[in-house]
Amino acid sequence: MNKKNIFFYNKSRDKNSFATKCSFDDISLLFRLIGIRIIIIEQLSAKKIFNKNYDFLVLGVIDAINCFIFSIINFKKPKIYLRLRGTISDESYYRHKSKLRWFILCILEFFSLIISNKIFVVSSNHRDLICSRYGIRFYKKIYILPNFIWKKNLKNLIKSKDKNKQMTFCYIGGISNWQNINLVIYLIKKLSKKFIEYNYKVKIQIRTNMKHHKYFYEEFYEIIQKYYTELCFDIKEIEPNKIITSLESEAYGIILRDDSIVNRISSPFKIRDYLSAGIRIIATDTIGIINQYPLLIKRGNVYLFNFNDLKCSPKKIVEEIENWIIKINTKNFDYSIVNKIFLFDNKINEFKKFINI
């Protein structure tokens, strides 16, 4: 690749969000590690760009289209690298249930895929959706880049001598319906009570916005009062980049999603937070990225169950999770499999080869 500089352009409404920042930080670091410098620009300007032989990195469909229009106006043919975290058409339909909006956004997505030279998606399901919906011709210019882990962010895990006497359940997130917060609380309550009955000391760790603290205190009030000597309730608002170090290693993290296209192609940041901290994941089988790495399940880092089964037979699911925890709790968290398949560091040569195709 001859060009050693790329402009990062992002006019998306969520440009200040943690997810956007993390997505940019991850992909820009990968570019830097293969010798390409990322230059951030806030607006497209001929004065800045016209005489420079730079390409564009964008994090959204509309940004890609803006860069394409700008390049036509300025008689340029830059490459456009498009990073997609999801599908805007299905996310819109999930919220608004409008087929017309879905159709219009599909057209915009399709056009952005055509004009982009390289496309980065978050899961194999995401790539499969694009190819089945818009054509197999896009397959070769799509690279699967989930929300992986940087090795330097892995938490140093030291197994506690009294590990088998304490059980910790974690939840990172808000109280939105799409996060299935009622089911999350149900699972944590039931599992906490079960292990208190088995003479464990139980800790419940919640990492959420301060404005949600009252909600969680009210939801867990009864169990906190009943088991005040056996249970520790730890709720905090932590800066996103410090969440990993604030969590109890070898705990069990909860993440639940219903069955939709949006979730089937997703790669939530919670997954890498939990794995980075040495936390095993209890999750529904509706999350795209987890199904992409079955070894995480086989090695005991992840336990999956069916979302509809949880809604129809919650007691049965609690019992199955309980049995899995009892079986796996005597084993150390398997960092070797995380190192092998879930690190950005291992993808650098593969990423470089893709960029240079």
Domain residue ranges of the chain, discontinuous segments joined by +: 5-148+344-355, 152-340
- For the cut 80, the answer to whether the pLDDT of residue 16 exceeds it is no
What SS3 class is residue 217? Answer: helix
- What pLDDT is attached to residue 91? 94
- What pLDDT is attached to residue 53? 73
Lowest mean pLDDT among 7-11, 31-35, 100-104, 168-172: 7-11
For the entire predicted model, the pTM comes to: 0.91
CA atoms of 279 and 23, how far apart (whole Å): 22
Average pLDDT on 130-153 reads: 94
* Encoded tokens for 308: 């509809």
Cβ contacts of 207 within 8 Å, gap of 6 or more? 170, 171, 172, 173, 235, 236, 237, 238, 243, 246, 247
CA atoms of 271 and 204, how far apart (whole Å): 18
Share of the chain above pLDDT 70, in %: 93
Average pLDDT on 5-21 reads: 77
- Is 3.40.50.740 the CATH classification of the domain at 152-340? no
Q: What contacts 24+ positions apart, CB below 8 Å, involve 284-288? A: 284/255, 284/256, 284/257, 284/258, 284/259, 284/310, 286/257, 286/258, 286/259, 286/260, 287/255, 287/257, 287/263, 288/122, 288/123, 288/124, 288/125, 288/126, 288/263, 288/264
Instruction: Let me know if the fold of 5-148+344-355 is the same as that of 152-340.
Output: yes
Q: For residue 304, what are the β-bridge partners?
A: 283
Interval 171-215: pLDDT, tens: 999 999 899 999 999 999 999 999 999 999 999 999 999 999 999
CATH superfamily placement of domain 5-148+344-355? Glycogen Phosphorylase B; (3.40.50.2000)
Q: Which of 280, 237, 238 is nearest to 255 (CA)?
A: 280
Identify the burial level of 105 via C-beta atoms within 10 angstroms of its C-beta, where 0-12 means exposed, 13-18 middle and 19 or more buried.
Answer: buried
